[in-house]
Structure 1
Amino acid sequence: MEPSKEEILAGYGRARRELRARLAGATAADLRRASDGTRWTNEELLFHMVFGYMVVRVLLPLVHVVSRLPPPVGKAFAAVLNAGTRPFDAVNYWGSRAATLVYNRERMGRKLHRTIAALSRRLEHESSRSLMRSMAFPNRWDPFFKPRMTLNAVYAYPTWHFDFHARQLTLRLPDDPGAS
């Protein structure tokens, strides 16, 4: 069962608060420390988590358009994107590393706040019918991308992505008993 608008919005708010808390409690050394299970530092991984929300802003109009096309067109589009998984992975990795030069600890919280505000406004204006629109997705790009996704699932995706990567941080929440 897909999450409701209220659940999606609650997840957005929780992610915003969690990022703010992690950044506020982190030292420069904490942010430079390697994450667990990725090649990114904590700061790079935090940006990657923010980037998941940024990507959704681009995906929403795409889903609105592609979901209106004949299914074979959407399936072919997803297949082409899946064929480009290797270059996508490289851009995803290096892009997140480079992005922290701009979206460092001082800016990434504001970027997430603005991005979530924009996503929330859009979500509030979506009808039940539009949220059920679906299209084929490049499911090799991300473990949360399924072969076919509804617009509702696309709105929920960045919080699933955020929560998954939060477990890979070696930077704990300040009130976490295992905080470093």
Structure 2
Amino acid sequence: MNSAPLTRQTIHDELERVRSDFHTLVTAASPADLRRPSSGTRWTNGQLLFHMFFGYLVVRRLLPLVRLMGRLPEPVSRIFARVLEAGTRPFHIINYQSDRGAARVIHGPQLLRWFDRTLDTLQAQLAAEPAAALARGMHMPVSWDPYFRDWMSLAEIYHYGTQHYDHHRQQLTIGQAS
């Protein structure tokens, strides 16, 4: 979506753009909007909003893994990615069902608080990352997500959350008539 070089500042700026957009979406969505099906997914808008947040939780969990794998010999992450690829079907089922359930419990102001805390944590970690660490990376299970590539740097993992967000943002039907 964005052709700007992937720098610490561009990642910070995109996180702030997403924060503002997410707040607007969550606060503007009516109960009917949240129950309405999204476009191109099996989730409702409310479930998809949670899933958009969940993408950033995935980033938080990936960061320590990528930091570790980036320091190990390259074949280690290639083998690890292949092992994860073997679990693609269960991953997709868990990804779908967990977001459906979580959206029933975490929504509205609570979802916004969690979202803000998550982005604040990501921005603080990003600011503290040594430049050399941002360039290291690992192989990824490409069948898990269309934005996972065979090998991704730590900077690209930080950016992934926003790619995921922007992709699903287009699928929301908030504000549209039923």
Q: TM-score scaled to structure 2, two decimals?
A: 0.94
Structure 2 distance, partners of 1:101, 1:26, is 15
In structure 1, the residue matched to 2:110 is 107
In the alignment, is residue 163 of structure 1 matched against residue 166 of structure 2? yes
Q: Give the total of aligned pairs.
A: 174
- 1:68, CA displacement in angstroms? 1.4
* Secondary structure of residue in 2 paired with 1:39: coil
In structure 2, the residue matched to 1:128 is 131
* Secondary structure of residue in 1 paired with 2:71: coil
Runs of 4+ in 1 over 6 A off after TM superposition: none
In the alignment, is residue 64 of structure 1 matched against residue 67 of structure 2? yes
Contact 1:43 1:105 survives alignment (8 Å): no
In the alignment, is residue 74 of structure 1 matched against residue 77 of structure 2? yes
In structure 1, the residue matched to 2:24 is 21
Q: TM-score scaled to structure 1, two decimals?
A: 0.93
% same residue: 44
Structure 2 distance, partners of 1:38, 1:142, is 14
In the alignment, is residue 35 of structure 1 matched against residue 38 of structure 2? yes
Query: Which structure features the higher share of helix residues?
Result: 2
- Identify the match of residue 92 of structure 2 among 89, 97, 106: 89
The CA RMSD measured in Å over matched residues stands at 1.2
Contact 1:60 1:154 survives alignment (8 Å): yes
Structure 2 distance, partners of 1:116, 1:75, is 29
* Secondary structure of residue in 2 paired with 1:171: coil
- Identify the match of residue 154 of structure 1 among 153, 157, 160: 157
- 1:171, CA displacement in angstroms? 1.0
For 1:111, the aligned partner's letter is W
- 1:95, CA displacement in angstroms? 0.6
- 1:2, CA displacement in angstroms? 4.6
